[in-house]
Structure 1
């Protein structure tokens, strides 16, 4: 068996492992309707997926005032959590993660979700046992700051040159760049291929199956 190129593979969650981008967009737009604020267009709402909630709402809803931030967060969480049990992993993701874990790679998650949100998703999907460490936006600086990756690498004692970050947004790829690690772009999530191409990556993959094959050949 050839030597591993990477020791640590870090995954974004929403739009990379879980097919949740559309649900996030709908929840943002529904929360805006509740508060009587202009609804962002889909492309604007999709752009913020992967960011911490504060940064995401500031960009997606520029009309939101600080005084109404807590109300907006509450309405967003209401709409998202009311249906998050219906969300599913992208097809084949569970088997890819199992293969990597069984093959000896260290796996981690770096996500814009809150700790409560990620723990809920890990329990719902049953994927928690595959991951050696996780970081959330309410524990670190939000993407594209490198803190999540830096903390994961320090915790698992893996250098940047042996770490791969996989994500569906430019926020993920910029975080990888800022941390000095390779980034791999998946184009089946929130950001379009042309947008992802604006940030250097080792490759773009268009389907979960292509992701599995790329990791099999290159990780």
Structure 2
């Protein structure tokens, strides 16, 4: 079994179940723009991809309305949506055990970094990470591959041997691959086995307990 020394984690759907807060924020944005709130299946497609591309791809908004929708989303999210969220069972213990074992643990999320840090501080998990890296508020860094590259640089990782990404959506797998990294797909989040396998995940973990031996050996 591959022994990984450095683990990059996605956040939403991998470490925390953030769906309620994200979806409520999308609903708020739609109402702000005077739009009908989309059905549940469309809303759930927002879980994982960068926010601007989700408004663009799934609601077919113009660039001007994408900017308005993102701004409206961020009216609700920082005050309420950010805490409509909980760590998946077993994740806090796994993160602590990874640090105790001497692993380098880094977050690489498409969520704005300032929000990611607040969430980890809220759950008293920030100290489990060597670096918490995410997107920028001004959207100059939003795509997963860009975030992964930034996370590697921020954590001072130059040797990409024994480094792995862990995520729940195809964007995590593809973003890792563009940086020469394998990705383990988790099935307890917002993606599924078909999506993750098609994207090229090197292994699948149905539960947090299944993820543990893949990372700790």
User: What TM-score, normalized by structure 1, do the two folds share?
Assistant: 0.86
- What's the secondary structure of 1:108's corresponding residue? strand
Paired residue for 1:167?
167
Residues 65 and 150 of structure 1: is their aligned pair in 2 closer, same or farther, counting only changes over 3 Å? closer
Which residue is equivalent to 2:123?
125
CA positional deviation for 1:98: 0.3
Q: Deviations over 1:195-214 (max 9, x none)?
A: 22211112111112221233
Residue 148, structure 1, aligned to residue 136, structure 2? no
Pair 1:215-2:212 in alignment: no
Judge conservation of contact 1:47–1:191 (CA < 8 Å) in 2.
no
Once the 2 structures are TM-superposed, how far is the Cα of residue 56 of structure 1 from its aligned partner?
2.5
Provide the residue aligned with 2:192 in structure 1: 192
List runs of 5+ in structure 1 lacking aligned partners: none
Distance 1:100 1:183 in 2: 17
- The alpha-carbon deviation at position 57 of structure 1 amounts to 1.9
Partner of 2:18: 20
Deviation for aligned residue 1:60: 2.7
Aligned residues: 213
Rounded Cα–Cα distance in structure 2 between residues aligned with 1:14 and 1:95: 17
The answer to whether 1:75 aligns with 2:69 is no
**C-alpha separation in 2, matches of 1:156 and 1:129:** 17
1:135 corresponds in structure 2 to 133
Describe the shift of the 1:54–1:213 C-alpha distance in structure 2 as closer, same or farther (beyond 3 A): same
Q: Are the equivalent residues in 2 in contact too, given 1:143–1:172 (CA < 8 A)? A: no
CA distance in 1, matches of 2:188, 2:206: 6
Shift of 1:140: 6.1
Q: Flag structure 2 segments of 5+ consecutive residues without an equivalent.
A: none
In 1: Cα distance, 2:125 partner to 2:27 partner: 29
TM-score norm. by structure 2 comes to: 0.87
Deviations 1:52-99 (A, max 9, x none): 32222212321x333334432233123333143242100010010000
Match of 2:203 in 1: 203
**Distance (whole Å) between structure 1 residues aligned to residue 50 and residue 163 of structure 2:** 22
Please tell me whether residue 90 in structure 1 is matched to residue 88 in structure 2: yes
